[in-house]
Amino acid sequence: MADNARAKKLADLIREVVAEKLQRGIKDPRLGTHVTITDTRVTGDLREATVFYTVYGDDEERASAAAGLESAKGILRSAVGRAAGTKFTPTLSFVADALPENAKTIEDLLDKARASDAQVREASSGASFAGDADPYKKPGEDEAAE
C-alpha cells in the first residue's frame, strides 16, 4: 500500500496532465475551453483516480462534456501513464463537481439573510426601549435614592 504523500503527488500530477491534455491535445469540440479540472483523488493503492470537473454552461453543454470526457478516457489515461512512469496507470473516472451549484445555493441563502437583516433594521429604526434606556442599577444609585 502506498503512503498518503505518494497518492497526493500522483493526484496532483494527474490533475495537471489531464488539464494540459484537454487544453492542447484533444481536438474534441465537446471539450472546449469551458471544462475545468477542479480536483483529483487517488485511492490508497494507486489503482483508481477520480477526476472532478466543472462545466460552465447549460445542461446540454454539461452532458456533451461528460460524453466527451468518457470518449477521451483512454487517451487521457495513456498520457497520465507516460507522465507518471508508474508500474500501473490508475483508471480514470470523471465526476461532475457540484461546486458551482453549491456556491449558487450559498449565495442565495446569503441574499435571503441580507434581506431579512434589512427588514429587521428597517423595523427597528424608529423603535424605542420598552422600559428605561439602561435597566441596570449602578453602584451608588441606592445611596443617592435614600
Instruction: Give the up-direction half-sphere exposure of residue 116: CA atoms within 13 A in the CB hemisphere.
Output: 6
Q: What is the pLDDT of residue 115?
A: 93
> Domains in the chain and their CATH numbers?
4-98 (3.30.300.20)
Find the mean pLDDT for residues 2-12. Answer: 84
Question: For residue 134, is pLDDT > 80?
Answer: no
Question: Exposed, middle or buried: residue 121 (CB in 10 Å: 0-12, 13-18, 19+)?
Answer: exposed
Tell me, what's the pLDDT at 27?
A: 80
pLDDT of residue 6: 87
Looking at residue 116, its pLDDT comes to: 92
C-alpha cell at 141: 444609585
- CA separation for the pair 42, 92 (Å, rounded): 9
Closest-CA residue to 38 (of 23, 16, 58): 16
pLDDT at 2 over 60: no
Task: State if pTM tops 0.75.
Answer: no
What tens digit of pLDDT does each residue of 82-130 get?
Answer: 998 888 989 999 998 877 778 888 999 999 999 999 998 888 887 777 7
Tell me how far apart the alpha carbons of residues 52 and 15 are, in angstroms, rounded to a whole number: 9
Q: What digits encode the pLDDT tens for the residues 34-76?
A: 788 889 999 988 899 999 998 887 888 888 888 888 888 888 9
pLDDT at position 145: 57
